[in-house]
Amino acid sequence: MQFAFTDEQEQFRAAIRRFLQEKSPSTTVRRLMETAEGYDPEIWRQLSEQLALPGIHIPEQYGGAGFGMVELCIVMEESGRALLCAPYFSTAVLATNAILNAGTDAQKASLLPDLASGARLATLAVTEPNGQWDPRAIELVATPAADGFLLNGAKSYVVDGHVADLLVVAGRVRGTTGDEGLALFTVRADTSGVERRLLESMDPTRKLARIDFHDAHAQPLGTVNGGATALARTLDQAAIALANEMVGGAQTLFDAAVNYTKMRVQFGRTIGSFQAIKHKCADMLLDLELAKSAAYYAAQAAAADDPEWLALACLAKASASEIYLRIAIDCIQLHGGIGFTWDNDTHLWFKRAKSSEVFLGQPNYHRELLMQRWGV
């Protein structure tokens, strides 16, 4: 498959970059990461109204812009470049794709317009206190009730779970086993029996929450028997989107490292003129281009519904995870002592790199999935 961004897509990217350069400088990132909410409602409103980003890949019939996976990944890459503090990944990627994959036409018509406009925030709750992303580890129990289901259990490490208005929850119907019993449910965050608590995490730029359910009333999203397939597809799409976000962050770190080596003078010359530094920067560039190729290829394959896209999602997530973290470490080292200080911005992207590495599953988990999907 040959792939290149169109002129329209590059113009779209440029518009997003200009917006985020103005609205998400590192000073704003530092301010927002210290707040409990973790985002600025006014910036979210502008992002929604001026650029229509939350609904970029939602079909027009549900209030969205009607674009696809490639455009969504462009947004994710630019948000990673700027380290955007906003509930975009949780709302536009995780929850929206879950509804698109699992919901009935009536549910999509009811839920998606408010997500597309940015009027409501949403997220997807999958992992439990055990921290595993394998759907087989899901233990939250859904018990059939008169008008829906009652949920009992806990979800942890839920992105923006403390501010979301709508929760899409992965659970297991009582009395079932295996994929047959997995289902997705929608729960209003203000429903009786829902308790939310903000977690302390390594990465303050992406807030995580624990959500406990005590006989919380929920509605099944689509058909109960189709939950496993929809959840798997949603997580694979999220892996591709996150890989592109990581590429954006890695690009920022690479640029910062190169610029610093051109400016920092030692022994009467810029450190970028030393051969060892040149080799390190060259290695970082090779890594970055590898991650880009994997992430872009996976996004295009998913958009085209290529039979290989599920395997490519694993490849993109595994490679981008390791490369982003490696570039972050190299960037800190190239900055020398100043790279370890709080005032230097490098640590902000380093923390995002580490949190993204484990989110949706660590590289070895995705390599194992890749081998399974390739039949190895």
Residue where a domain stops, chosen among 225, 248, 279: 225
Please state, for a pLDDT cut of 70, what percent of the chain lies above it. 99
Q: Which two tokens stand for residue 174?
A: 């009582």
Residues 265 and 369 in one domain: yes
List the one residue out of 185, 47, 172 whose CA is nearest residue 107: 185
What CATH number is given to the structural domain containing 283?
Answer: 1.20.140.10
Residue 2 has pLDDT above 80, yes or no: no
**Are 133 and 167 within one domain?**
yes
Range(s) of the domain holding residue 80 = 7-86+106-119
Residues 349 and 253 in one domain: yes
Question: Lowest mean pLDDT: which of 91-105, 147-161, 169-183?
Answer: 169-183
Q: Are 277 and 164 part of one and the same domain?
A: no
What the block records as the tokens of 338 is 């100043």
Domain total of the chain:
3
Q: What is the pLDDT of residues 305-342, one digit of tens each?
A: 999 999 999 999 999 999 999 999 999 999 999 999 99
Q: Examine residue 236 and state whether it is found in any structural domain, yes or no.
A: yes
Classify residue 97: in a domain, yes or no: no
Has residue 100 been placed in a domain? no
**CB half-sphere exposure, 101, CA atoms < 13 A:** 24
Give the integer Cα–Cα distance in Å for 10 and 3. Answer: 13
List pLDDT tens digits, range 16-49: 999 999 999 999 999 999 999 999 999 999 999 9
CB-neighbour burial class of residue 27 (10 A; exposed 0-12, middle 13-18, buried 19+): exposed
Residue 93 lies in a domain: no
Q: How many Cβ atoms sit within 10 Å of the Cβ of residue 177?
A: 10
In this structure, the answer to whether residues 53 and 161 fall within a common structural domain is no
User: Looking at this protein, which amino acid is placed at residue 79?
Assistant: S
Give the residue from 172, 197, 225 where a domain finishes: 225
Read off the CATH number of the domain in which 221 is found.
2.40.110.10
Instruction: State residue 1's pLDDT score.
Output: 64
Same domain, 258 and 218: no
* Domain identity same for 159 and 237: no
Q: Are residues 246 and 366 in the same domain?
A: yes
- What is the phi/psi pair of residue 220, to 5°? -65, 140
CB contact burial 281-296 (16+ within 10 A = b; e otherwise): beebeebbeebbebbb
- Please compute the mean of the pLDDT values over residues 208-216 and round it to a whole number: 98
1 part of a folded domain: no
233 and 369 within one domain? yes
Token pair 């010359």 in the structure block, residue: 269
Instruction: State whether 216 and 240 are in the same domain.
Output: no
pTM of the model: 0.97
How much is the pLDDT for 177?
A: 78
